[in-house]
Amino acid sequence: MEHSSLQRQVAYGKKSLVDQGYLDEQFYELEELEDEASPNFVEEVVTLFFCDSSRLVANIEQALEKCPQDFRRLGSLAHQLKDSTTSIGALRVKNECTRFREYCDEENLQGCQGSFQKVKREHAILKQKLEAYFQLLRQTGPAARATCSGD
Amino acid sequence: MDPNRAAASTASSGRPRDGVGHPPDFPAGLRVLVVDDDPTCLKILDRMLRKCLYDVTTCSRAAVALAMLRERKGAFDLVLSDVYMPDMDGFKLLEHIGLEMDLPVIMMSADDGRDVVMKGVTHGACDYLIKPVRMEALRNIWQHVVRKRRNELKELEHSGSAEENDKQKRALDDGDNASSASEVSWKNVKRRKDGKEEEEEIEEREDPSTLKKPRVVWSVDLHQQFVAAVNQLHVDKAVPKKILELMNVPGLTRENVASHLQKYRLYLRRLNVPQNQARLDTPYTGASEATFHSVGSFDGLDIQSLAVAGQFPPQSLMALNSEPRRITTTGIGLSSVDQIGFNPSAQMANASNIRPAMMQQMSNKQLNFLSGPSSSMESGLLGQSQQPVPSYGNMGLRVSDGASGFFSLPSSQRTSTSFSGGTINANMTNSLVMQMTRQGQQFSLSQQQNRIHINMPQQPQTRGQLPNAIAAEHDSRLSTTMGHQILSNEVSRHGSGRCGSNMNVCTSLPEGYMNASSYGAVSQALYADFSNSCMNESTGSSYPLATGAGATTFTSTGMLQDAFPPVGNVEALGNSTSLKGVDFVPDYDLLSEVHQSKSRDWKLQNINISYQLAQQLGSKQSNIDFGSSLLAHQDPIATIKDESSRNTCIVRKETFSVRTDIEREKGECIAQCNSTILVENSVRVKAEGMSDLSYQGGLFDGNIIQNELMDVVGKKQQEGIGQVDPEFNFDGYSLDDIQGAVQKR
Residue B54 lies in a domain: yes
**Cross-strand partners of B81:** B35, B107
A47-85 pLDDT tens trace: 899 999 899 999 888 888 888 788 888 888 888 888 888
Question: DSSP letters along A71-136, please?
Answer: HHHHHHHHHHHHHHHHHHTBHHHHHHHHHHHHHHHHT-HHHHHHHHHHHHHHHHHHHHHHHHHHHH
B725 vs A34 pLDDT, higher one: A34
Which residues 31-60 in chain A show a CB within 8 A of chain B? 32-33, 35, 38, 41, 44-45, 48-49, 52-53
Identify which of B37, B44, B84 has the shortest CB distance to residue A30. Answer: B44
DSSP state of B735: -
B89 touches chain A (CB under 8 A): no
Alpha-carbon separation of residue B287 from A58, B238, B259, B292 (angstroms)? 68, 10, 9, 9
Residue A141 lies in a domain: no
* B222 Cβ contact list (under 8 Å, min separation 6): B161, B162, B247, B249, B252, B371, B375, B446, B447
Distance from CA of B112 to the nearest CA of A (A): 12
Domain count, chain A: 1
The helix, strand and coil proportions of chain B, stated in percent and rounded to the nearest 5, come to 65, 5, 30
Residue B443 lies in a domain: no
Residue A45 lies in a domain: yes
Distance CA A112, CA A133 (A): 31
CA atoms lying within 13 Å on the CB side of residue B352: 75
**Cross-strand partners of B134:** none
Distance from CA of B31 to the nearest CA of A (A): 19
| CB contact at 8 A, B380 and B156 | yes
A112 vs B221 pLDDT, higher one: A112
**Residues of chain B neighbouring A38 (CB-CB closer than 8 A):** 47
Contact between chains at A87 and B41 (C-beta distance less than 8 A): yes
- 3-state DSSP assignment of residue B416: helix
Task: Measure CA A113 to chain center.
Answer: 20
CATH code, A26: 1.20.120.160
| CB contact at 8 A, B554 and B496 | no
Alpha-carbon separation of residue B27 from B140, B205, B427 (angstroms)? 9, 22, 50
- 3-state DSSP assignment of residue B382: strand
A76 touches chain B (CB under 8 A): yes
**Residues of chain B neighbouring A26 (CB-CB closer than 8 A):** 132
Whole domain around residue B51: which residue ranges? 31-156
- Residues B146, B234 within the same domain: no
In this predicted structure, what is the pLDDT of residue A35?
A: 78
Distance from CA of A87 to the nearest CA of B (A): 5
Tell me how many helices (H) and strands (E) chain A has. 6, 0
Q: Which residue of A has its CA nearest to B45?
A: A87
Contact between chains at A38 and B37 (C-beta distance less than 8 A): no
Residue B686 lies in a domain: no
Distance CA B377, CA B504 (A): 11
**Cα torsion angle, A137, A141, A144, A149, sign:** positive
**Residues of chain A neighbouring B37 (CB-CB closer than 8 A):** 80
The residue-averaged pLDDT of A100-126 equals 88
Distance CA B686, CA B724 (A): 6
Q: ∠ CA(B297), CA(B299), CA(B302), 5° rounding?
A: 70
Question: Alpha-carbon dihedral of residues B309, B312, B316, B317, nearest 10 degrees?
Answer: 20
Task: Find, among B113, B114, B123, B53, the residue nearest to B81 by Cα.
Answer: B123
Domain count, chain B: 2
CATH code, B261: 1.10.10.60
Q: Which residue of B has its CA nearest to A90?
A: B132
The residue type of B212 is: K
In this predicted structure, what is the pLDDT of residue B223?
A: 81
Q: Which residue of B has its CA nearest to A26?
A: B132
Residue A150 lies in a domain: no
* B213 Cβ contact list (under 8 Å, min separation 6): B20, B21, B149, B152, B153, B156, B164, B165, B168, B171, B172, B184, B185, B187, B188, B189, B205, B380
| CB contact at 8 A, B636 and B475 | yes
Which residues 123-152 in chain B show a CB within 8 A of chain A? 131-135
Q: Which residue of A has its CA nearest to B48?
A: A33
Q: Which residue of B has its CA nearest to A82?
A: B110
In this predicted structure, what is the pLDDT of residue A2?
A: 59
Identify which of B37, B48, B131 has the shortest CB distance to residue A86. Answer: B131
Residue A144 lies in a domain: no
In this predicted structure, what is the pLDDT of residue B437?
A: 39
Residue B724 lies in a domain: no
DSSP state of B88: S
CATH code, B150: 3.40.50.2300
Buried b (16+ CB within 10 A) or exposed e, A116-134: bebbbebbeebbebbeebb
- Residues B230, B148 within the same domain: no
Phi, psi (degrees; rounded to nearest 5) at A125? -65, -45
pLDDT band per the 50, 70, 90 thresholds, residue A141:
low
Distance CA B367, CA B505 (A): 11
Residue B615 lies in a domain: no
For residue B536, the surrounding DSSP H or E stretch is helix B536-539
Residue A139 lies in a domain: no
* B519 Cβ contact list (under 8 Å, min separation 6): B298, B299, B300, B301, B302, B303, B304, B326, B328, B329, B330, B332, B333, B336, B362, B365, B366, B369, B422, B452, B454, B466, B469, B481, B482, B485, B486, B489, B508, B509, B513, B704, B707, B708, B711
Distance CA B552, CA B566 (A): 9
Distance CA B548, CA B569 (A): 10
What count of CB pairs under 8 Å joins A to B?
60
Residue A26 lies in a domain: yes
Which residue stretches of chain B have pLDDT < 50? 1-18, 171-213, 275-745
Distance CA B485, CA B478 (A): 9
Contact between chains at A45 and B82 (C-beta distance less than 8 A): no
B16 touches chain A (CB under 8 A): no
CB neighbour class for B115 (10 Å; exposed up to 12, middle 13-18, buried from 19): exposed
Whole domain around residue A105: which residue ranges? 3-32+39-134
In this predicted structure, what is the pLDDT of residue B34?
A: 92
Question: ipTM of this predicted complex?
Answer: 0.87
pTM: 0.39
Residue B366 lies in a domain: no
Residue B71 lies in a domain: yes
- 3-state DSSP assignment of residue B175: coil
Distance CA B368, CA A87 (A): 55
Buried b (16+ CB within 10 A) or exposed e, B288-322: bbbbbbbbbbbbbbbbbbbbbbbbbbbbbbbbbbb
Identify which of A26, A48, A79 has the shortest CB distance to residue B132. Answer: A26
Residue A50 lies in a domain: yes
Residue B64 lies in a domain: yes
| CB contact at 8 A, B538 and B506 | yes
Identify which of A29, A53, A82 has the shortest CB distance to residue B110. Answer: A82
Identify which of B40, B84, B111 has the shortest CB distance to residue A87. Answer: B40
**Residues of chain B neighbouring A30 (CB-CB closer than 8 A):** 44
- Longest CA–CA span in chain A (Å) reads 58
* B400 Cβ contact list (under 8 Å, min separation 6): B159, B263, B267, B290, B291, B292, B293, B294, B295, B296, B297, B341, B370, B373, B374, B377, B435, B436, B437, B438, B439, B440, B441, B442, B443, B444, B445, B527, B591, B601, B605
